[in-house]
Amino acid sequence: MSTNREDGGSRRQGGAAFLLAQLGAHAAARFAEGIAELDLTPAQAGVLRLLARTPGRSQRELADELGMPPSRFVPFADKLEERGLIERRRNPGDRRLYALHLTDEGVTLLSALGEVAAAHEQRMCQALTPDEHEQLRALLARMAAQQGLSPGVHPGYRQVRPDRVHRPREPHSPEESRTQDQGGND
């Protein structure tokens, strides 16, 4: 059986948008599993990375960049502070604001997070040559920019709720785990 475009065979695999969504959901789930060992959620990992790149930003600035309402960001940051990963310091330029910084423990955890992320990147792209990997990264970055997405910021932060910032729910049974891996609902 031929799988060329004329007979619709390649369409059974889905278009580029579907494949991006399929791989994105798969990659996000595998990443969440990998960082669960660090007792982090993807949203928490993203905030730590953002603070490492731009320390000393206010809660409002971070909330705005992430697309989160400040009322949701504050309790989210509270949980990271309770874990000793970030600290709030008075902003020297405006004493009404707090500047957020990683703690030493946050920096250490970020290093471990980097190792998990690098291994995840390698697993996800192992079917590609190094040149193809870089070409794919560049094409995806160009598409993300064209869609108006902020570099390095997952659009899922808009849905993050303070009461849902802990580890993802574990499957209850091996059967449920297999169903989830195959894209089923729980």
Q: How far is CA 52 from CA 49, 78, 113, 180, in A?
A: 5, 17, 12, 33
| Number of Cα atoms under 13 Å in the Cβ half of residue 56 | 5
Higher pLDDT, 180 or 105: 105
Q: How confident is the model at residue 161 (pLDDT cuts 50, 70, 90)?
A: low
Q: Enumerate residues 6+ apart whose C-beta is below 8 A from 140.
A: 20
Q: Looking up tokens 């990992």, which residue turns up? A: 45
Model confidence at 85: pLDDT above 60: yes
Distance in angstroms (rounded) separating the CA atoms of residues 10 and 34: 32
pLDDT above 90: residue 60: no
Question: Is-contact 160 68, C-beta < 8 A?
Answer: yes
Residue 168 has pLDDT above 80, yes or no: no
Q: Which residue has the higher pLDDT, 55 or 177?
A: 55
42-53 and 16-36 helices cross at what angle (nearest 10)? 90
Whole-model pTM over 0.75: no
pLDDT at residue 158 is higher than 80:
no
Residue pair 30/123 in contact by the 8 Å Cβ criterion: yes
Compute the distance between CA of residue 17 and CA of residue 100 in angstroms, rounded to an integer: 36
